[in-house]
Amino acid sequence: MNALLFKLTMGAYFLATLLYLVYLIKPRPTLGRISHWVISGGFLIHCMFTLDRYLEAGHTPITNLHESLSFFSLAIVGMFIAFERKYKVSILGSFVTPLALVILGISTLFQSAIAPLNPALKSKWLLVHTSMAFFGYAAFAVAFGAAIMYLIQERFLKNKRLGSLYQKLPSLDTLDEINYRCLTFGFPLLTFAIISGAIWAETAWGTYWSWDPKETWSLITWFIYAALLHGRLTTGWRGRRAAILAIIGFFVMLFTFLGVNLLLPGLHSYK
């Protein structure tokens, strides 16, 4: 049952990615609507998969890399669906759904069997801490997609090369707005994830902060996004500069998530 739901999710995301890429070439409103329904259907199945796994394992299914990557992909898709509905920018899907598909694909490379829960993780903080972190990451991932679109569109306008992609991409203002909105979602979530992690660490390990690599890199990620948010609100870091920072922030965040787990030994190295 669980494996089937996973395969169905994979299939739906694959189809949705394909449809959104076709949409990039032929942006017909009907195609945009179909793509939206396919990705929404995939999202529902993915939620069912996650819930099923939760019931089967008896704990939040974000305890190893397979589960984390799957949940990350779920959060990206959820965040994207919300933004697509709000801003009516179907073409965002052409940049974000491939990312969700690739992340879900990578999750299959890791052990997917349900293992007994690491005793250190047996806590109600597990759900709060991890889901907040991943929804924050997902917001940054959507910001990353919008930032890439911004940079492409900005190049077109500066170089006065107004081809067919230029016509399909939304206005710079819309893309900058999405970038900013993602930031205002992602930053508080990341902040709460770090705070809840510290509280949990105090109860589990006896100390709020132990400069574990994950903690250090989370703080670096937090500083980058804090700087971006601050710059935006005070001196008007917007447009190109904000887009570049959102891209840098995304890669640092990816390292915080994956690089730390795989490369740097520490308290958070769950595989």
Binding site for another protein (CB under 8 A): 153, 157-158, 160, 162-163, 166-167, 170-174, 177, 235-241
Of 17, 53, 61, give the one whose Cα is nearest residue 38.
17
**Cβ proximity to another protein, 23 vs 200, nearer residue:** 23
**Cβ proximity to another protein, 52 vs 154, nearer residue:** 154
Query: Considering the complex, what minimum distance in angstroms separates the CB of residue 244 from another protein?
Result: 11
**Cβ proximity to another protein, 5 vs 149, nearer residue:** 149
Query: Considering the complex, what minimum distance in angstroms separates the CB of residue 191 from another protein?
Result: 25
| Rounded distance between C-alpha atoms, residue 258 and residue 255, angstroms | 5
CB-count burial class (<10 Å; 0-12, 13-18, 19+) for 20: buried
| Rounded distance between C-alpha atoms, residue 101 and residue 218, angstroms | 24
Query: Considering the complex, what minimum distance in angstroms separates the CB of residue 37 from another protein?
Result: 21
DSSP E strands in the chain: the ranges are: none
**Cβ proximity to another protein, 116 vs 235, nearer residue:** 235
Residue 145: φ, ψ to 5°: -60, -45
Query: Considering the complex, what minimum distance in angstroms separates the CB of residue 245 from another protein?
Result: 13
